[in-house]
């Protein structure tokens, strides 16, 4: 399918396609992990109070970063978002519901399981260096977001590094999953539309 044809597809169809693709990747990752020697990390549980504290901390840091990104974009310091990102932003109430109920939880669970759950553990195991695994898995997460332009890939890599911290520190992935979900919700229903309106106002000369 040509790129222009993809842009003409309804956003709900793109959301569903993205969700299915990620769940297929998770299935493949689980199968590889189950067949590889010591291939699947068993994450320990976390007390509710610690879960809430870590999630709140990660969200707070992420909100600061999102606010700085929005401010820098307003001042013209940050490159504009790619056409793909702008096209995927929900514009109607129904699209926002779809993005919150399907896209955000899928990304929060699937991407964390793949990058922080499996890849981080395997890289650490083979390199014998947690720091190297941390850096490489974060870079891989950034490269997976190159459709957002290099600036978006850099932003994703930084987020990946942040979300890897509690996995390394505590051996649990659950705060990272929750934070990833909440960040995507904020980006889809608030930060993204705000940026889109700002760009539209700028182009109209308002």
> Which pLDDT tens digit goes with each residue over 164-185?
999 999 889 999 999 999 999 9
Q: Name which of 68, 102, 73 is nearest 184 in CA terms.
A: 102
126-135, 153-162, 193-202: range with lowest mean pLDDT: 193-202
pTM: 0.88
**What pLDDT does residue 129 have?**
95
**What pLDDT does residue 127 have?**
92
List Cβ neighbours of 44 (8 Å cut-off, separation of 6 or more).
Answer: 170, 171, 172
Instruction: Give 30's pLDDT tier (boundaries 50, 70, 90).
Output: confident
**What pLDDT does residue 54 have?**
95
Given a cut of 70, whether residue 113 has pLDDT beyond it is yes
Instruction: Give 197's pLDDT tier (boundaries 50, 70, 90).
Output: low
Q: Directed axis angle between helix 120-127 and helix 130-143, to 10°?
A: 140
Helix, strand or coil, per DSSP, at residue 46: coil
Q: Directed axis angle between helix 130-143 and helix 149-170, to 10°?
A: 150
CA distance 129 to 137: 12
Q: Name which of 164, 144, 162, 161 is nearest 153 in CA terms.
A: 144
Classify 9 in phi/psi space as left (phi over 0), alpha (psi -120 to 50) or beta: beta
Mean pLDDT of 90-114: 93
Task: Read off the tokens for 171.
Answer: 């051996």
């Amino acid at each position: 399918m040509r790129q222009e044809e993809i842009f003409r597809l309804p956003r709900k169809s793109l959301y569903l396609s993205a969700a299915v693709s990620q769940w297929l990747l998770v299935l493949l990752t689980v199968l590889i992990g189950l067949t590889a020697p010591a291939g699947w990390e068993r994450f320990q549980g976390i007390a509710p109070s610690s879960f809430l504290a870590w999630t709140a901390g990660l969200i707070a840091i992420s909100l600061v970063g999102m606010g700085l990104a929005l401010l820098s974009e307003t001042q013209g310091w940050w490159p504009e978002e790619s056409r793909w990102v702008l096209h995927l932003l929900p514009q109607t109430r129904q699209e926002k519901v779809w993005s919150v109920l399907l896209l955000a939880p899928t990304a929060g669970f699937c991407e964390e399981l793949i990058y922080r759950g499996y890849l981080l553990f395997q890289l650490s195991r083979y390199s014998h260096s947690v720091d190297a695994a941390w850096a490489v898995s974060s870079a891989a997460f950034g490269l997976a977001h190159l459709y957002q332009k290099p600036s978006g890939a850099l932003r994703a890599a930084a987020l990946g590094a942040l979300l890897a911290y509690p996995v390394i520190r505590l051996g649990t992935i659950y705060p990272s999953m929750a934070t990833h979900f909440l960040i995507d919700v904020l980006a889809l229903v608030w930060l993204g539309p705000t940026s889109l309106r700002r760009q539209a106002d700028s182009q109209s000369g308002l």
